Amino acid sequence: MSLPITFTGRGFDVTDPIKKYVEDKLLKLPHIELATQIDLEVGKTVFHKGAAKDFYVRILITLPKAVVRMKKEGEDVYVLFDDMAPSLHEKLVHYKDNFRKWEGAETWPETAVVEDVKEEAKLEDSSSAIYAGYVPKIRRKVITEMAPMSVTEAIERMELLDKDFFIFKDVQSGNIAVVVKNGSEYEMVVAD
């Protein structure tokens, strides 16, 4: 079986042995045959030896109706991919377990909001000398279309993307909301 893999090197040549190693590891993952595209990026984070995190490996697995994403940094590309394999295994099994929901054949279960917490947005005095002269660099991403989804589906997508938050349009209210991972719990932030 051949996988639809694209290899990219950033400041680093992705050699044939690395490609073969990664492909062999990927072929051992459950449900990898569902992937429509796999993008693997290997890069150098430091251009001199001796740093604890010389390299990074980023993988993006495109599946029908979902994406699995992971990134790891460390000293050895092979070890990084070995470290990623168990999490990728878990995410792909979880995706397949919910496959009928992703396809829309079943609905996502409703996630109950346990408690409503009212907070007012407060701006604290930032006149500290720490921030003097600091100008943040902001990358703007405009979302033109956002399909409504349940809180449960938003959490599932956030977990597959290996993120700590996810912005979505709540299917119940029609409002934009954010789910945030806080340890082993989740918070949903909505504007009132």
Q: What is the pTM of this model?
A: 0.77
Residue 34's CB is within 10 A of a number of other CB atoms, namely 15
Which letter does DSSP use for residue 132 in this model?
Answer: T
Contact between residue 56 and residue 70 where contact means Cβ atoms under 8 Å apart? no
Contact between residue 84 and residue 59 where contact means Cβ atoms under 8 Å apart? yes
Strands (E), the chain: 5-10, 37-44, 55-63, 66-74, 148-149, 165-170, 176-182, 185-190
Domain count, the chain: 2
pLDDT at position 163 is 92
CA dihedral sign, ordered 66, 72, 77, 82: negative
**Is 97 in the same domain as 111?**
no
Q: In this structure, are strands 66-74 and 55-63 parallel, antiparallel, or unpaired?
A: antiparallel
**Is 151 in the same domain as 85?**
no
Structural domain range at position 42: 5-102
**Is 78 in the same domain as 155?**
no
pLDDT at position 12 is 84
Residue among 119, 101, 90, 88 nearest 3 (CA): 88
Angle (nearest 5°) at CA 124 between 119 and 125:
165
CATH of the domain at 49: 3.30.160.100
pLDDT at position 118 is 66
Q: How far apart are CA 94 and CA 102, in angstroms?
A: 11
Residue 16's CB is within 10 A of a number of other CB atoms, namely 9
Tokens of 159: 């977990």
- Report yes or no on 128 lying in a domain: no
- Report yes or no on 131 lying in a domain: no
- Report yes or no on 70 lying in a domain: yes
pLDDT at position 192 is 72
**Is 93 in the same domain as 159?**
no
Q: How far apart, in Å, are the Cα atoms of 20 and each of 10, 54, 132, 135?
A: 18, 21, 50, 44
**Is 93 in the same domain as 12?**
yes
- Report yes or no on 24 lying in a domain: yes
Tens-digit pLDDT string for the chain (192 aa):
788 999 999 988 999 999 999 999 999 999 999 999 999 999 988 766 656 678 999 999 999 999 999 999 998 999 999 999 999 999 999 999 999 998 889 998 887 766 666 665 555 554 555 555 667 777 888 777 788 999 999 999 999 999 999 999 999 889 999 999 988 899 999 877
Q: How far is CA 81 from the centre of its chain?
A: 16
**Is 95 in the same domain as 168?**
no
Tokens of 26: 């990927």
**Is 32 in the same domain as 91?**
yes
pLDDT at position 108 is 87
pLDDT at position 142 is 77
pLDDT at position 61 is 96
pLDDT at position 191 is 78
Buried b (16+ CB within 10 A) or exposed e, 65-84: ebebebebbbeebeebbeeb
pLDDT at position 181 is 93
